[in-house]
Structure 1
């Protein structure tokens, strides 16, 4: 009985510690943001989110995050397929480098993009000769968002490719189906849950990106100022209520996306 009591006590203590950690680290800060955003009432909250600069910053962020997510879906699916289906020199190294954006500080990523695509770089100089600029314009923001969200789709697709029954592919080939038709009819439907969940996570992460973007965006109000940089500017201007109001728009977007991802994963597990 004594051992049983101790086991239950340790189990209860462990669960309580985990829940306390979760509440203090996630729940309380989220409640604090919502409380701060409505601290002065509904009218100041509405004025904060309807401010033209704030609205343009949010719309620009959503637009560029969607573009970055689509790019990641296309490239990430191809890279995941290549890493899973083909053996070549450097495959393990490439597979390990996929997670580099998770390990690398985002500010360092922004500096890398600035050095690679800036006006003094080979690529930047060539772009200027062709009549357009990359850094301090929307393309640089998209590149930064793609960089920080690069692993999501790849890591979501790879487990599905490993679980895929190759006998269905072989049967399709035996019946005369082309590789393209087999991929569209047999393979892609199995990959779709991973592609969608990875793409939505990439979109959600791109919404909140700050470190990589702030170095390459130019931060021009109404043109290249994204929501996270706008929020930072409001904090610097001592307008914490306005910053919190815009923050909960992004937070609500993220909650909605995470809910959709959980639903997609639940359906996948139920099959």
Structure 2
């Protein structure tokens, strides 16, 4: 009996090449990062990641990334729905524009955003002239660090009003939303294109409203893709640097975790290379935990959808 012809090499060779490449590109660098951080010891590692400087940057990075990812889920779903369900002039142009943040250097995006939203920029100046203001949470007792947070008996958050976008928290959110939007659109759009309309039409003939159809029929089918897009956008925001550095400026209230890592490497007085790896491991752990939770939620949603179809 002749062997079946295969387009690619056999399983052993293909698996070996895949594992080798994955090890060189992903596993070995991450292992080196953990090994370098292990040289610090647990006490020094804890002191670094709970210091006021690192705690402030990580907390702000998480908050800004979360706001940007949630915004991208709402807007990205709307854009994916328009591209997946409607035909209109220049649809291909709009579809290509969505991928622009993938190809555009992040530094170029940061310069463009800072120019647009600066106080003298087109949008920044217009918003400033009409008295634009927005709240952003701040933490009382921040200078005491995370260790005293456990002792606070009341919610330690206050709201601070800001009147600008560039060099302010909202500018960081805008930059993170810019680089994270394609992840949501490109994850949700194929699901919308493959989603059949027969169930929606059947629900409409039974008298269901548009909102009811969306919440009961469409949204459950899109939930796994939305969760995936949200996780990817959030993870991209956590590690973003180039597009944020210009619009945030070198300010303590808009400093992200990536800036702390760079400063620890470049300025000996504020840390060392090993200290920077400690912050990097903290961000890596947060991203891994995020992806793990989202994966579990996706499995739960898929299982519930399968049980509903079987019932």
Cα distance change, pair 73–9 in 1 and its aligned pair in 2 (3 A): closer
Matched, 1:240 2:273: yes
Matched, 1:91 2:91: yes
Query: Of residues 248, 251, 254 in structure 1, which corresponds to 2:284?
Result: 251
Matched, 1:175 2:245: no
Cα distance change, pair 125–29 in 1 and its aligned pair in 2 (3 A): same
Gaps of 5+ in 2: 133-162, 307-311
The aligned residue for residue 111 of structure 1 is 111
Cα distance in 1, alignment partners of residues 73 and 10 from structure 2: 44
Q: Give the deviation of 1:266 after TM superposition.
A: 4.9
Q: Give the deviation of 1:265 after TM superposition.
A: 4.9
The aligned residue for residue 31 of structure 1 is 31
Contact kept, 8 Å, 1:219 with 1:226, in 2: the verdict is no
Q: Give the deviation of 1:50 after TM superposition.
A: 1.1
Q: How many residues align?
A: 267
**TM-score, normalization by structure 1:** 0.91
The aligned residue for residue 63 of structure 1 is 63
String of CA shifts for 1:101-139, please: whole Å, max 9, x gaps.
111111111111012111221211122221511101111
String of CA shifts for 1:61-117, please: whole Å, max 9, x gaps.
000000000000000000011111111111111111111111111111111101211
Q: Aligned ranges for residues 155-170 of structure 1 at < 5 Å?
A: 155-170=186-201
Q: Which moved more, 1:119-128 or 1:192-201?
A: 119-128
RMSD: 2.2
Greater helix share, 1 or 2? 1
Cα distance in 2, alignment partners of residues 237 and 88 from structure 1: 53
Cα distance change, pair 8–65 in 1 and its aligned pair in 2 (3 A): closer
Q: Aligned ranges for residues 69-88 of structure 1 at < 5 Å?
A: 69-88=69-88
Matched, 1:260 2:285: no
The aligned residue for residue 255 of structure 2 is 225
Gaps of 5+ in 1: none
Contact kept, 8 Å, 2:85 with 2:193, in 1: the verdict is no
Contact kept, 8 Å, 2:117 with 2:124, in 1: the verdict is yes
Q: Give the deviation of 1:10 after TM superposition.
A: 6.4
